[in-house]
Amino acid sequence: MSATLDLTLDLISRPSVTPKDMGCQQLLADRLSAIGFTIEHLRFGDTDNIWARRGTQSPVLAFAGHTDVVPTGPEKNWTSPPFEPVIRDGLLYGRGTADMKGSIAAFVTACERFIAEHDTHQGSIAFLITSDEEGPATGGTVKVIETLEARGEKIDWCIVGEPTSTEKVGDVVKNGRRGSLNGYLTVQGKQGHIAYPHLAANPIHLLTPALTELCDVEWDQGNEDFPPTSFQISNLNSGTGVTNVIPGTAEVIFNFRYSTEVTHEQLQQQVEILLDKHSLNYDLSWELSGKPFRTASGALVDAVKIAIEDVTGYATELSTSGGTSDGRFIAPTGAQVIELGPLNATIHQVDECVSVADLDTLSAIYETLLVQLLSK
């Protein structure tokens, strides 16, 4: 059993559903303090975080990740209990194996081997670990970054352990993410008897033409780094639950995943202009989950490409697709941010799993990155 697999098994056995940490971070703190890291526990609300650092000089290479996992769903649907990790046919099964306790274990073991060979490495190595990435993400990485910024502590390079790979470990690296903007829309009508529509105003009927137009808008054409901006409706609710009442309101939740061709302010303005054109009586509030970011070619991206090819023998692909990550809180500080982790085929699913061999490959890639960036 490899050290990476052993640590992953220990982490998976702890049912750390957001925002619970269940001792995962203390386990990591103990391993890191043993190799010279100074550990800082930071708790905001119900969220546990650790900031661990080895060294006091720049550049700072930080590993970022989360110990929390999404709920399992009905455990009876799992082939084996989700928090009792088991290996079958070379795959390790359990909630969080891919997202992202396997990556965190690989972070730690990579550092242990690197420090054993490079005790007086350049710069600093850091860990930013949270327990609320899968939840509202209000007491985790964003708060740790605020703390670091307030005292002038900067991250130069950041590796986020999100599961980015598609067919084989390391084949895809995220060097950026689209922005995410949520809209919460309520359209006012007038409730009434369904047999007397002239005495009511059906908000669903009033809203439908505007929604159709919103779905048909070409917001931008994207660019070489980002696909075109996408508008999607995630929730549509109205009605009283009976067949003979015209509802008084209709509620819509929608999301933009947007490129760098537009700003969130431009999207908000365009939506409001369209709704006003349809003469709707509405309330609309906005929530910006994260702005788009991209890490251009430079020290970190170049080192990642070299490390993956050295360890695996194949070249990686840079991508900005997919959902958001905590990288959105780190990139605005000026840090170069990439995301690199195991295959994402089973994340958030029943019978989530990761290849046992991939865990060691991932750890080797992280170690090679440390050598590329911090060895003397």
**218 catalytic residue (yes or no):** no
Rounded Cα gap, residues 14 and 32, in angstroms = 19
Strands 317-319 and 172-174: parallel
Work out whether the CA dihedral 297, 298, 303, 304 comes out positive or negative: negative
Residues sharing a CB contact under 8 Å with residue 371, sequence separation 6 or more, in sequence order: 114, 118
Residue 154 main-chain phi, psi, to 5 deg: -115, 145
Catalytic residue of the set 48, 68, 132, 162: 68
**68 catalytic residue (yes or no):** yes
Buried b (16+ CB within 10 A) or exposed e, 194-204: eeeeeebbbbb
Buried b (16+ CB within 10 A) or exposed e, 68-83: bbbebeeeeebeeebb
Rounded Cα gap, residues 232 and 242, in angstroms = 28
CB atoms within 10 A of CB 91: 16
Cis peptide before 85 (omega within 30 of 0): no
Rounded Cα gap, residues 246 and 53, in angstroms = 60
Catalytic residue of the set 112, 133, 134, 339: 133
C-alpha distances (whole Å) from 230 to each of 226, 257, 272, 332 are 11, 5, 17, 22
Residues sharing a CB contact under 8 Å with residue 304, sequence separation 6 or more, in sequence order: 159, 173, 316, 338, 340, 369
Active site residues: 68, 133
